Amino acid sequence: MIKILIVEDEIPMLQGLKDNLELEGYSVDAASNGKDGLEKIKKNNYHLIILDVMLPECRDLIYAVQ
């Protein structure tokens, strides 16, 4: 199964993306800030990460993903 992480601080956007992707059959984790997103990246392997690049902690997440 495809595993996706969404990192988004706007909760309605985060929930909407998560709900729609789950309806399509994907396994989706969500984080509402960069710190939580980074912790999830360290503990899990994701096929795709949807990242709000305007998050204050975004630089750390981008380096972690690379």
Q: Which residues are 4's β-sheet partners?
A: 28, 48
The pLDDT of 9-32, averaged and rounded, is 97
The pLDDT of 53-65, averaged and rounded, is 68
Name the pTM for this structure: 0.87
How many residues can be counted in the chain?
Answer: 66
Distant-in-sequence, close-in-space partners of 20: CB < 8 Å, separation ≥ 6: none
The pLDDT of 49-57, averaged and rounded, is 83
Query: For residue 21, what pLDDT band results from cuts at 50, 70 and 90?
Result: very high
The pLDDT of 10-33, averaged and rounded, is 97
Residue 3 has a pLDDT of 98
Residue 24 has a pLDDT of 97
